[in-house]
Structure 1
Amino acid sequence: MVVLQALWTAFRSFATARSRFGCFEGCCEVVLGSDADAAKENSKMPEVKNPRVHAEILPALAAAVVAPATKILAIGSVTAKGTPEAIASVRPHEVRATVRNHLAGKIEQWFSLTEGRGVVFIVNATSTAEAHEVLEKLPLGIAGMMEFELIALGPLAPLAMLIAEPPRS
């Protein structure tokens, strides 16, 4: 319920800016009946250099919308211990452990870095601590040959403006 109230507040801020600045006038109009043809002629978008949401409503949006972490971006880098010879001896175990985590739904996707040595995982976790727990158990992590930068990802919060309740007069 709190999330819905926050979304409503964000949309009200957006709608206030829309009506104040007129930057979206005429682009979201529904017309039924015989006035539809006349509405098509009159509903041209105004010429506005920057139709994006104006800076004065962004603080309200940021305060109102809190997006939970739904995935963790894990960027793995080889450490000094990770010499090519040392990694070669652990690689078969690392691959099997990564595939097991994928099949268990813990690692959703994995990629190799095209610049440098390392990997990128999309981990199904709701916190960086949860992702760290999964990744530290991989053979290269146990051997101290790989370390991860963990970045929490979540839904794009500004989309909440699209579904929030309009302002009350």
Structure 2
Amino acid sequence: MAKYFSLLTLSATFLMTGSPFISAQDSAVSKAWLVKEPEEHYYLVKKNPAVITCQAMNATEIFFSCVGTKIPPTSVEAEDVSEIYPGLVQAKIEVTRADVQNYEGDEPFWCTCSAVSDDDQEIVTSRKGYVSVAFLKSKFTPQPATVTVSVKETVEIPCGAPEGHPKPH
């Protein structure tokens, strides 16, 4: 019976809040909070951009900054997801290989997103999401050597993965 009571309590709590993102205590407060922050690392492969997505509750807008510079609103794609989850705001940007290669700073290229609360009194900022160009060199180290062996003999050819980013395993 205790098992069913716990399940009933959990169900009642979920129904009272109206959303899986809002607790009963938070629903009365209009502080913005981030539901989805940038990933820790993004790797640019070939011509594909890195897509950084953020989601926030109780926010009027989400804006992005990369290496300390605010991204213009025309480069931010805001998506209306309020029909799915009331109060949820979602936005994303695309970071290209050119963005990263043209950056001349000393630290790695990074982006954050920030959400502005419904009452415009508070801004909450995400962690940094680092963006770098992926590569894999073609030379193995050491180069595989030519070896001659007799039939049914075993041979071991030492070689390691080529240099790359992220580091190959």
TM-score band by shorter chain is under 0.3
- Please report the TM-score for the alignment, with normalisation by the length of structure 1: 0.26
Which TM-score applies when normalising by structure 2? 0.26
Greater helix share, structure number: 1
Higher strand share: 2
> Whose RCO is larger (CA < 8 A, sep 6+)?
1
